[in-house]
Amino acid sequence: MAQPYAKKDDDRDDEAEYSPFLGIEKGAVLQEARVFNDPQLDPRRCSQVITKLLYLLNQGETFTKVEATEVFFAVTKLFQSKDIGLRRMVYLIIKELSPSADEVIIVTSSLMKDMNSKTDMYRANAIRVLCRITDGTLLTQIERYLKQAIVDKNPVVASAALVSGIHLLQTNPEIVKRWSNEVQEAVQSRAALVQFHALALLHQIRQNDRLAVSKLVTSLTRGTVRSPLAQCLLIRYTSQVIRESGQNIQTGDRPFYDYLESCLRHKAEMVIFEAARAITNLSGVTSRELTPAITVLQLFLSSSKPVLRFAAVRTLNKVAMTHPMAVTNCNIDMESLISDQNRSIATLAITTLLKTGNESSVDRLMKQITNFMSDIADEFKIVVVEAIRSLCLKFPLKYRTLMNFLSNILREEGGFEYKKAIVDSIVILIRDIPDAKESGLFHLCEFIEDCEFTYLSSQILHFLGNEGPKTSDPSKYIRYIYNRVILENATVRANAVSTLAKFGAMVDSLKPRIFVLLRRCLFDSDDEVRDRATLYLNTLGGDGSVVETDKDVKNFLFGSLDVPLANLETSLKNYEPSEEPFDIDAVPKEVKSQPLAEKKAPGKKPAGLGAPPTGPTSTIDTYEKLLSSISEFSSFGQLFKSSVPVELTEAETEYAVNVVKHIYDGNVVFQFNCTNTIPEQLLENVTVIMDATEAEEFSEVTSKPLRSLPYDSAGQTFVVFEKPVGVPAVGKFSNMLKFIVKEVDPTTGEAEDDGVEDEYQLEDLEVVPADYILKVGVSNFRNAWESMGPDNERVDEYGLGVRESLAEAVNAVINILGLQPCEGTEVVPSNSRSHTCLLSGVFIGNVKVLVRLSFGIDGPKQVAMKLAVRSEDQAVSDAIHEIIASG
């Protein structure tokens, strides 16, 4: 049909680059668009011009407002033509031009006419165009036709209306929701895709009504679903219902699991895969439930289609993170995928194998990977390197093989990111596996001999300076380091000088030789290198006498900077050159910015392949970092638990304060996060006075005031209490925020010199038993329960009185205990009369606790509970019972 456009004056010499749009220009095409206004329309020519316009838009050309409007008005004239092909192009260009509201009115009547035309094609397309460009007011006018269209017997028309409904739901939900009867009828349609679209729309209309979604799923899983796409959709909705309803403990069966499992035998691969993926994603999935899904995925692994192999290996890779044992059956198929043409598949296969492999297979695996590494891109190599690092930490005995592998790939070609990943891995292995230290350092030394990245050389030299002197034979590293001084650029030379000095300071026997080397550096061409050499020679006593390096010098060389760099930077900027030297002790040591994890915006997910899920550990990590940076707290030992922040002020008050309870074995640290919301005030010396009269077992040790809290910033002040070691002491504290207020001139931002002392009442704070319990889940509760044994079991029954519902009672008990619900048992199916809930956790003193709660509810909402506790310590079992008895 559409023929080559006649070229105007080109002598087409049939070269390969010939294109019908060669030399096309926007201006010329806009001129051509005048044919739309001809009284005698030539449909073919008009189609061609529209195609050219679409081509321009497709190539990224944009029309100005005026141009677009002009074209749009010209196009509307084309509704006069009866040519179907032209009309179709008109629809397309109208959608692409996305006209403004006042322009839409021009075509509305034409489109509405088409919507009621006898030609199905007109109807379907007019609906789609009109819904795309329409706004709310117009929608009420055409609503009647749309409702009709949804139940139209032509599937194309029905689908067009339904899909448009899905888009309109985003902007005009209240209108679309009125169509649910028609949509419901369309769900029963015999046309495959109509059912798919209707199901999608119906679910979106009802997505906030759990019961309705559950009913929808129940009826459809029993009925017939015609298209694979609709089936996939139904699987997604089913897993949503499963997630929200929880598991039935009595039979151990999950509602709808049978349906998912039956989908594994569907004839469409799309559906099989969707079902397998849904099963692997079930929360607290058991290995029995996983098996059929893994089996079909395993079959996919040997498919001839790359897409299928990729889908299967990617899903298995995710499963391997949580259930490595379940995936081991696929290892043989997985190994053959290492040589897959598609590198994404090969990489996923390898990282999966690295996760599921056992100690004995490591050597074989490494051989296969070595061949594979040479021909994949850097980004994949990094994924592999990271997987190998975690494998090595898992099997420390295999460090030799893995370290050799890392050093081999370190010698090969590669970009910065890749090399950095390898170096980081080696550094981590050296840190965590003492046996690997010597060989690891040696590999790093070899690497810097021929390293093109200044950053990496510097990093390694620094690391060598810290670790090298502690090895059995430090002298062997000197050669590598001094080579840097001879061969490298200034930055690396300066670093090498520092590293040499560290060896000199730590190893007395090397001192004379180090001095010789450092003295040679005094003649370096670079200032920094000479300065460093001079400095170190003087501090180490390089005047010839060999003396013990004294403590101050060691501190100076190795001690970390105990002030935050940002603070140091501000202080240095504010320092005006004068007689008085800059005093580093005057730099404030508080960390200004709030380093809490909650501040982090929920950004993009970590890059695709094999990236581990970021767990809740990150919060505790930041706390740990924060606390360990404060010297007073370093003697408390390992941080057991940090609570979630508890608000101590109402929202929108002058000062916002929340508290985090950090539990140590014998201490509790209260971290008050304060925010000043008054622009005219600067707060200084902020502390919290805690009254512990209702907390007898606690005694205050110290507190750490916040030096200053300007407007709209957050800071922390700490109060430390001592408590009996290992005992879950509880109590209630009343709190008072105490500070000095200084008025701030809002125009200049300068604070007045003298302030007034003030107080601010905060809400009370309680230390509860749950603070001493860590939420730690177990994957198989029954096994854990059996292996714990009945020795320290305590069982008792409690009446919980009248409760609103069973679910409410279950939640209340879980919250009081602060344990981790297992296997999805925290969810109570609605209307059930009894429920069993499984909890697990770790009590202070690292005692594992397992709890089995059986609830029952009777007519007048009286709830009774049977509590069975097993733990490693009888006292802890008793303590759990006490929590309930007193709660």
Partner 1 sequence: MANFGTYQESCPSIKNILLLDSEGKRVAIKYYSDDWPTLNAKLAFEKSVFTKTQKTNARTEAEIAMLDNNIIVYKFVQDLHFFVTGGDDENELILSTVLQGFFDAVALLLRSNVDKREALENLDLILLCLDEIVDGGMVLETDAHVIAGKVASHSMDAGAPLSEQTISQALATAREHLTRSLLKAAGGFHVFAFHYGYRLFFAASRPTHTQQVIVCAGLWNSV
Q: Which residues within the stretch 55-84 sit at the binding site for partner 1 (CB under 8 A)? A: 55, 58-60, 62, 82-84
As measured in angstroms, the least distance from the Cβ of 219 to partner 1 is 18
Per CB under 8 A, the segment of 510-518, 603-611, 807-815, 854-862 that binds partner 1 is 603-611
CB atoms within 10 A of CB 539: 18
With a CB cutoff of 8 Å and minimum separation 6, the contacts of 492 are 454, 457, 458, 461, 484
CB of 384 to partner 1, least distance (A): 15
User: Which part of the chain contacts partner 1 (CB under 8 A), choosing from 18-26, 100-108, 684-692, 788-796?
Assistant: 18-26
Q: Which is nearer to partner 1, 230 or 770 (CB)?
A: 230
Which of 21, 416, 556, 582 binds partner 1 (CB under 8 A)? It is 21
Minimal distance in Å, beta carbon 242 to partner 1?
10
Taking the complex as a whole, the smallest distance from the CB of residue 58 to partner 1 amounts, in Å, to 6
To partner 1, the closest distance from the beta carbon of 228 in angstroms equals 8
Nearer to partner 1, 85 or 829 (CB): 85
User: Residue 774: beta bridge partners?
Assistant: 842
Q: Compute, in degrees rounded to 10, the torsion defined by CA atoms 376, 382, 386, 392.
A: 60
- Residue 313 beta carbon to partner 1: minimum distance, rounded to whole angstroms: 11
- Cβ closer to partner 1: 89 or 778? 89
Alpha carbons 780 and 286: distance in angstroms, whole number:
7
**Amino acid of residue 590:** E
94 near partner 1, judged by CB under 8 A: no
- Give the single-character DSSP code of 870: E
Q: Which is nearer to partner 1, 70 or 83 (CB)?
A: 83
Closest approach, Cβ 276 to partner 1, in A, equals 10
Which DSSP symbol is given to 751?
A: B
**Candidate list 7, 10, 12, 18; residue touching partner 1; CB under 8 A:** 18
Q: How far is the CB of 335 from partner 1 (least distance, A)?
A: 20
Choice between 207 and 287, CB closer to partner 1: 207
- Token digits of residue 661: 């309870």
Site for partner 1 in 744-783 (CB under 8 A): none
Per-residue interface string for the shown chain with partner 1, residues 163-202, x marking contact by CB under 8 A? xx-xx--x----------------------x--xx--x--
Nearest to 464 by CA among 487, 430, 418: 430
- Closer to partner 1 by Cβ: residue 309 or 389: 309
Of 181, 267, 198, 255, residue with least CA distance to 221: 255
> Residue 339 and residue 347: Cα distance in Å, rounded?
10
Contacts with partner 1: how many residues (CB under 8 A)?
A: 76
* Per-residue CA distances from 635 to 364, 661, 666 (Å): 46, 17, 10
Of the ranges 33-41, 143-151, 162-170, 501-509, which one interacts with partner 1 (CB under 8 A)?
A: 162-170
CB of 194 to partner 1, least distance (A): 11
Nearer to partner 1, 47 or 539 (CB): 47
Which residue in 125, 51, 135 sits closest to 98, CA to CA? 135
**Which residues, in sequence order, are CB contacts of 341 under 8 Å at separation 6+?**
306
All residues at 6 or more sequence positions from 860 whose CB lies less than 8 Å from its CB, including other chains = 802
Binding track over 287-326 against partner 1, x by CB under 8 A: -----------------xxxxx-xx--x------------
Q: Which amino acid type is present at position 64?
A: T
Q: Which is nearer to partner 1, 609 or 828 (CB)?
A: 609
Of 96 and 743, CB closest to partner 1: 96
Interface residue with partner 1 among 434, 512, 608, 746 (CB under 8 A) is: 608
Strand partners, 670: 661, 719
d(CA 685, CA 670): 17
- 878 in contact with partner 1 (CB under 8 A): no
Stretch touching partner 1 by CB under 8 A, among 152-160, 551-559, 664-672, 810-818: 152-160
- Site pattern 335..354 for partner 1 (x: CB under 8 A): ------xx-x----------
**Closest CB 43 distance from partner 1, rounded Å:** 7
Q: Based on CB atoms, which residue is closest to partner 1, 311 or 880?
A: 311
- Nearer of residues 311 and 741 to partner 1, judged by Cβ: 311
Angle between helices 180-187 and 155-171 (to 10 degrees): 140
The DSSP symbol for 171 reads: H
Q: 3-class SS at 66?
A: helix
Contact indicator for 592, 564 with CB cutoff of 8 Å: yes
Site string for partner 1, 102-121 (x = CB under 8 A): -------------------x
Residue from 35, 92, 321, 630 touching partner 1 (CB under 8 A): that is 92
Instruction: Between 170 and 886, name the residue whose CB sits nearer to partner 1.
Output: 170
Interface segment toward partner 1; rule CB under 8 A; list 86-94, 357-365, 439-447, 538-546: 86-94
Q: How many Å apart are CA 161 and CA 173, to the nearest integer?
A: 15
Cβ closest to partner 1, residue 312 vs residue 838 = 312
What SS3 class is residue 791? coil
Residues 405-444 that bind partner 1 (CB under 8 A): none
Binding to partner 1 by residue 270, rule CB under 8 A? yes
| Shorter beta-carbon distance to partner 1: residue 101 or 611 | 611
By CB neighbour count within 10 A (0-12 exposed, 13-18 middle, 19+ buried), where does 43 fall? middle
Single out the residue of 281, 549, 703, 780 in contact with partner 1 (rule: CB under 8 A).
Answer: 281
Q: What CA–CA distance (Å, rounded) separates 705 from 676?
A: 15
The answer to whether the CB of 168 falls within 8 A of the CB of 136 is no
Closest CB to partner 1 among residues 344, 681: 344
In this chain, which stretch among 136-144, 154-162, 538-546, 826-834 interacts with partner 1, using CB under 8 A? 154-162
What is the three-class DSSP state of 803? coil
Q: How do 820-821 and 834-843 pair as beta strands?
A: antiparallel
Q: For residue 825, which phi and psi values (nearest 5 degrees)?
A: -80, 0
- The vertex-832 CA angle with 828 and 835, nearest 5°, equals 55
- For residue 759, give the H/E element and its range: strand 756-761
Question: Measuring CA to CA, how many Å separate 613 from each of 273, 606, 610?
Answer: 22, 8, 9
Residue pair 852/840 in contact by the 8 Å Cβ criterion: no
b/e per residue, 344-368, with b = 16+ CB within 10 A?
bbbbbbbbbbbbbbeeeebeebbee
Nearer to partner 1, 310 or 855 (CB): 310
- Minimum distance from residue 412 beta carbon to partner 1 (Å): 20
Binder among 26, 35, 43, 656 for partner 1 (CB under 8 A): 43
Q: In angstroms, give the least distance from the CB of 167 to partner 1.
A: 5
Q: Should residue 88 be labelled a site residue for partner 1 when binding is judged by CB under 8 A?
A: yes
Q: Which of positions 197-256 make contact with partner 1 (CB under 8 A)?
A: 197, 200, 203-204, 207, 228-229, 232-233, 236-237, 239-240
Q: Does 123 bind partner 1 (CB under 8 A)?
A: no
**Token pair for 692:** 């512990």
Q: Which is nearer to partner 1, 301 or 596 (CB)?
A: 301
Q: How far is CA 152 from the centre of its chain?
A: 45
Q: Which residue has the tokens 């940002």?
A: 566
Closer CB to partner 1, 1 or 211, in the complex: 1
Assess contact for 825 and 838: CB atoms under 8 A. yes
